[in-house]
Amino acid sequence: MLGTYHIPDLVARCPRRPHLVNNDKLTKLEEEHNQWVDSFPLFGDVQRARSKGEQMPLFASCCYPTADVEALHAVVAVTTALICLDHANDTASVEEAEETAKLWISAFNDQSAGLESSNRFAKLISGLASRATAVVGDAYKADCRRATIAFARATVQEAVDRQTAEAHKVKLTFDTYMPTRRNSVACPVFLVYVRAINGLEVSPDPLDDTVVKALELAVIDLFIIANDILSYKKEFKGDEAVHNILTILMEDPSTGCSDLQQAIDCAANIFNQTLDRFTEYRRQLARDKPQLQAYADALVDLFVGLIEWHLASARYNVFESDEDRVNGIVRI
């Protein structure tokens, strides 16, 4: 074991979420999702077990508490498709990552061609995409396409970063890590689903657009920091912590973080500063524009829901006992 570490109560620092998880919908979603996984012809036994173990129904329910079951199924499907690409490119060479990302983009955005393809991966992604995009109306399709393509390309950039680090012993810094991570964390895709599910038009004029983009960037950064703090234990044990903010902070000499606890504390400080940014931009939204206020509320549900999912999910096993949970103790 590496040691024991203290992580802060991130939820306590966040604003109160406007909506709570509907457990009745979650139960129905889990039942229907497991039935779909068991019957989906392109899943083998390993993929079925992995899909159930990811606990995507819990993620969708935590992050989109006002969505109906059809929309929650769409969130589960798009998240599963993103995870499939992430897993495929996580240890791939640059050439392999480029080829897989190209195939993924084509299959996700041209579902009929993907379903007719002889390539099993293309069929799988197109099958998921047909379910994922069912709730994405015409007004949001271009944004969804841009966000999913950016995610796919970010997985290739991470392969480039790995190869560069191995060949030239070059370490990522915080400033070089964040731009790629802002796409590979997939939050921009989830922002599109927030807008699509709630039918929100959030940029009616240039001034609002500037504030909204700043608000969204703060949410993306909150996603990154919270995800990386709470998933580090899982990633470290799986030798997958290279692209994690805690690793970056320990390797970046400008941060002064010489060990994991210092990196956790530093990341928590950045989280708090980012949350202050979010709060300030939320305050700047026009009070007489209910769509903007509703969007900000939904964003709180999104990033607080992400944290709650990590803490509740067996996938991450952040805390090993109730006592550790109360005291914020993580054992790695």
Q: What residues of the chain score a pLDDT lower than 50?
A: none
Would you state the pLDDT for residue 56?
94
Would you state the pLDDT for residue 1?
56
Per the CB < 8 A criterion, the answer to whether 80 and 128 are in contact is: yes
Would you state the pLDDT for residue 23?
79
How many helices, marked H, and strands, marked E, lie in the chain? 16, 2
Would you state the pLDDT for residue 307?
97
- What is the signed CA dihedral for 151, 157, 161, 166, rounded to 10 degrees? 110
Question: What are the beta bridge partners of residue 330?
Answer: 5
- What average pLDDT is seen over the chain? 92
Per the CB < 8 A criterion, the answer to whether 286 and 190 are in contact is: no
Would you state the pLDDT for residue 12?
96
Would you state the pLDDT for residue 100?
97
28 residue type, one letter: K
User: Cα–Cα distance between 241 and 228 in angstroms, integer?
Assistant: 9
User: Cα–Cα distance between 57 and 84 in angstroms, integer?
Assistant: 16
DSSP string, 8-56: --HHHHSPPPSS---HHHHHHHHHHHHHHHHH-TT--HHHHHHHHHTTH
Would you state the pLDDT for residue 208?
67
Q: Give the CB-side neighbour count of residue 202, counting CA atoms within 13 A.
A: 29
Would you state the pLDDT for residue 205?
61
Would you state the pLDDT for residue 166?
77
Would you state the pLDDT for residue 47?
84
- With a pLDDT cut of 70, the percent of the chain lying above it is 97
User: Cα–Cα distance between 6 and 194 in angstroms, integer?
Assistant: 32
Would you state the pLDDT for residue 225?
98
What pTM was computed for the model?
A: 0.93
- For the chain, list the strands marked E by DSSP: 4-6, 329-331
